[in-house]
Amino acid sequence: MFSTGPEHKEMNENVIQRTQVEERPYQCSRCGKSFKHKSNLYQHQRVHTGEAPYLCMWCGKSYKTKTSLVLHERSHTGEKPYKCEECGRSFSRKSNLASHQVSHTKEKPYKCSECGQSFSHKSNLNVHQRTHTGERPYKCSECGKSYLTQPNLRVHQRIHTKEKPYKCEKCGSSFIQKSTLNVHQRTHTGERPYKCSECGKSYSTRSNLRKHQRIHTKEKPYKCSKCGQSFDRSIHLNAHQRTHEVGKTYKCPKCNKDFTSPFDLIKHNRKHIEEGPHKCSECGESFRCSTSLMAHQRIHRGEDPDFGLSHASQPSLVEQNVTRPEKKCFVCSICSRTFGCSGSLGLHQLKHK
């Protein structure tokens, strides 16, 4: 314990200074940072050298620390040692559990000054605000595409590396991110875990539930910078923005008619679709192929009609549910993919715009 008398003041300061030096005696020659243990200094120096000696036996990725490797390997093994006592949900990281536990308190102290939406974490507010400012600070060095968050950039970069570390045990399909695998697996189980508290409708993904809930909240977070009009989804904003651009159109693959809005094209394409065996239970409209029916039904559920089309067109999903072979006579002029009907091709081509 330190002495409190004024005569001991100088002695106490010397003790404090000496203790601080003794606590961190290992200094980095490159940046001057000090460490308590030699092992911590060695670990830190890898930041400068780029050395990553810990290799993942699953995918070959290497890491600077053993702790980082252990955390990464949980993405392959599915291990989630941190469990929430409130709801039983498990997490692979302690920090993720801590973030999740805030959701039980319902406390959302961080409010967006632009639209009034509140968040439980400041980091979530910061990311959300970029939807208003248009800021995308994380840029891909390979193709120049920019992203709101670093994790989104990392996932995108797997398109270039062809890395697909998440594999479905049921059908063998591989995916670039765990969340996509989870969503895919629901096509096998039929699970729809995200339920709207307002009307009871269920969805397979949280993002689709959020999109649907905007029907109830009237929230329109996507604003046109040219005229100020607001939209509930980014796809609607993108379609609207094309009305400000001269010369850019969506072409009907059947009759070559041009449209400024993708939704006008979808509506027009229905004129080309003859009575087919795939009937919508909601409104009675019939379709020649199952993919067009699935896309159409998303409109009734308040979802983007184009969501999941690239997966639904894959044999691994379609052939499980459709026994009747369909002739694929509609070819995409941009990427050469083929489709069973013009409606599916029209929806697919929106991805190239």
Q: Is residue 270 part of a domain?
A: yes
- The answer to whether 30 and 48 have CB atoms below 8 angstroms apart is yes
Q: What is the mean pLDDT of residues 189-210?
A: 88
**Nearest-angstrom CA–CA distance, 221 and 111:** 14
Enumerate residues 6+ apart whose C-beta is below 8 A from 38. Answer: 26
pLDDT digit string (tens) for 237-282? 877 887 777 666 777 777 778 777 767 777 777 666 555 667 777 6
Q: Which two tokens stand for residue 162?
A: 């062809």
Residue whose token pair is 């979530």: 124
pLDDT band (50, 70, 90) for residue 336: low
- Asked if residue 214 belongs to a domain, the reply is no
284 occurs within a structural domain? yes
Within-domain flag for 69:
no
Task: Identify the domain containing residue 297 by its residue range.
Answer: 249-307+327-353
Cα separations in angstroms, 318 against 51, 120, 188, 315, 337: 45, 40, 12, 5, 15
Does any domain span residue 353? yes
Backbone angles phi, psi at 223, to 5 degrees: -110, 135
**Count of domains for the chain:** 1
Look at residue 143 in the predicted model and tell me its pLDDT: 93
DSSP 111-139: E-TTT--EESSHHHHHHHHHHHH----EE
pLDDT surpassing 60 at residue 324: no
The structure's pTM equals 0.39
Residue with tokens 């989804």: 233
pLDDT tens for 48-69 read: 888 888 898 888 888 988 889 9
340 found inside a domain: yes
Token pair belonging to 50: 């780029």
Looking at residue 273, what is its pLDDT? 57
R_g of the chain, CA atoms, integer Å: 27
**pLDDT over threshold 60, residue 7:** no
Confirm whether 181 is domain-assigned.
no
Instruction: Kindly state whether residue 281 falls inside one of the protein's structural domains.
Output: yes
pLDDT at 285 over 50: yes
